[in-house]
Structure 1
């Protein structure tokens, strides 16, 4: 009976490895079966860690948000036959990632799930924010509808104030600046906002300050850069 290994991958491309421990790389190099969010990204990662098996000899199946449930269920057969690695496009599989459905199925069928150590943008941002790490929630993407998004921001701020909770949201990189403008416009001046941009990259930057300070400072360059937004209203 095989195991399902959860393999974190780098959050961006760097020539040198600064994020993955040797143990994670050693285990990944021994696997020949992978379930991945995006094959091109997965193959690039495997070449980056010098996987000894050529791409064409590896078993690779796709699991993304469009993968039918029945196909996800069929992956169990692979795992039962041999140790299998699960990889998202970037960061920790199963966290803000469709791979969670397969992990749940593995548990339901008595298969061993082994999480490996590696980067998670959510935890890295929270660690560096200086905001409450004892009570936090990740909400993923806000609504695309402008009026609904404004309501969600107001709700997140009110809930943060009531529960002393850090609220974490994200946006697709090309819409970061739109979300930034809306947060600065709708949040109260004393609410603290952290922006964590290009985590683990050479141009990484993380800044926490009040909304008032953000509004009176030069607008940050967030266009097409992976970023997380953390809100805390004391």
Structure 2
């Protein structure tokens, strides 16, 4: 069985590509029902079309208010047959009605070690603050920005001369591994939420080979194929 998911995008879609690649490799137990963007220029739409995936464009400026946009977005996702939603660089907050419709079935990835540096330009925030460790977080989505229970985090070194671009590139390398892993855990029913904590059900799975990775810490550990 595979989990039907809709992917919401606004930008280049590098995390979307990582998800597509793991699905096509046969290691991620999901299928993409639609890729929906609020921006016509999002390269993520081209990535999706290159793999024969259904796409939809919903420019938020075409709607009179946030409520109308969220209703149209929810309809597009439901009509695609999606049972879960993945945010891959989607630069809009989801409204309460949308979150309620897919409660505990919406994942997001944020390029920081939450709860530190929520919001926009997290890589630049971290570099400017002078942290020595930075990273990425996959979390469930609730009504607040970058707030839901954490699924997996990856930490990488942050160097004194880093800026948003250099630190962001280091973080992104692990984003492309932890996000497909988290989606696979959701798809295979191994995640459960207990208050602010997410629990991962154990499985007899070999761990990923991290020999070629930069110095990093990933928790929970990645499994083979991710």
TM-score of the superposed pair, with normalisation by structure 1:
0.36
Larger radius of gyration: 1
When you count helix as a share of all residues, which structure comes out higher? Answer: 1
Q: Identify which of structures 1 and 2 has the higher relative contact order when contacts are C-alpha pairs closer than 8 Å and 6+ apart.
A: 1
